Structure 1
């Protein structure tokens, strides 16, 4: 069922899903590209890392499951429900992940997320990948507002968010469940005018 709106949608349906998911250049020789089947070992290994496990409770348990997730990611793009990219060095070596999900074309809003592998930490990989994705989503696609949230205990993620132009807007109390219980979550956002 289609909603009747008094205003036109910010983004026209079909803009994303009607074309292949793009590769996006990132400063410093990095590239965001869609996940490929051969990335499954690197993706699975990320969820063996203690820091990634600490902040992500949905975790794959096998390469087969990772490939199923990749299939879902491709369907997300076609259905205009999200975009999932590997952050890579030169298109080959996987360094991390960035995501655009929760797409609302009517209001022009979406949610972003990210992680990086241990070997890529403290080198600006997450912030550069997030900045590239954000610029594309805001300037090329036409989103008006991008949000991200993270545990108030995840200081590294807070630094990535602020370094990438996402202003801290507040704290969502007891908003997410992690392995050690409920966490308050910081809400950050970046809007086109920022």
Structure 2
């Protein structure tokens, strides 16, 4: 499609909805795969984890709400407005979430978000998953720009962003309301053509 300004869409409509959401392999036997109804327990556990609740403003009351969220994840893929994967342990249950919010195919942009349950933290999985999803989004899907934002009070996410090749672009003042008030937010980004991180 061509915009009113005569600029073609960066990614044509239908590129997501016209194919199944892929499974993306990670080192160590981990994988990114679509969420399933039987993953509801992982979402409930995430909703009770203090760090996930604090940094992701995420709550889930029970399994019924979790299953409804999982159904919405699949709806967002079909609507081409979001793409959310479960971070799966080798031959095990979901250990986290990673995805693209605010997908704008025409404009070629999205925001990358993630969280991990406690048992999956500290082993480099967040970095590996972020790198893998960024590669898929910029190369396979064809987006031009991905942003990754986090509270300035969350240095762990700042390290993940840097190791995953997301350049620091600045601080957004008072950008996100958390339970303890407004937080400044770091903005990181990768664009198509950026070198893969070492």
Determine helix, strand or coil for the equivalent of 2:161: helix
Partner of 2:39: 39
Residue by residue over 1:108-139, the C-alpha shift from the partner in whole angstroms, topping out at 9 and shown as x without a partner, is: 11110000111111101111111111101111
Task: Measure the CA separation in 1 of the matches of 2:13 and 2:137.
Answer: 15
Does the CA contact (< 8 Å) of 2:13 and 2:106 recur in 1? no
| Bigger mean CA deviation after superposition, 73-82 or 25-34 | 25-34
CA apart distance, 1:58: 3.5
1:4 is the counterpart of 2:4? yes
Distance, in Å, in 2 between the alignment partners of 1:162 and 1:105 is 25
Residue 47 of structure 1: SS of its match in structure 2?
Answer: helix
1:159 maps to what in 2?
Answer: 159
Q: Is the 8 A contact 1:33 1:91 kept in 2?
A: no
TM norm structure 1: 0.95
Q: How does 1:1-194 map to 2 (within 5 A)?
A: 4-90=4-90, 92-194=92-194
- Provide the C-alpha distance between the structure 1 equivalents of 2:26 and 2:4, rounded to a whole number of angstroms: 39
Q: Provide the secondary structure at the position in 1 that maps to 2:68.
A: helix
Distance in 2 between the 1:97 and 1:155 partners?
19
1:112–1:147 CA contact under 8 A, matched in 2: yes
State the alpha-carbon separation in 1 of the partners of residues 71 and 182 from structure 2: 31
Aligned residues: 193
In 2: Cα distance, 1:58 partner to 1:115 partner? 10
Give CA-to-partner distance per residue, 1:5-58, whole Å, 9 cap, x none: 411111000000111111111122110001101100112101211111111223
* 2-structure distance, mates of 1:185, 1:146: 16
Task: Please state whether the residue corresponding to 2:28 is helix, strand or coil.
Answer: coil
1:59 Cα deviation after fit:
1.2
Unpaired segments ≥5 residues, structure 1: none
Which stretches of structure 1, 4 residues or more, deviate above 2 A after TM superposition? 2-5, 90-93
Which stretch has the larger CA shift, 18-27 or 173-182? 18-27
User: Does the Cα contact within 8 Å between 2:88 and 2:95 map onto a contact in 1?
Assistant: yes
Write out per-residue CA displacement over residues 136-161 of structure 1, whole angstroms, 9 at most, x where no aligned residue. 11111111110010000001111111
User: In 2, distance between residues paired with 1:4 and 1:48?
Assistant: 46
- Unmatched segments (≥5 aa) in structure 2: none
Length-normalised TM-score, structure 2:
0.94
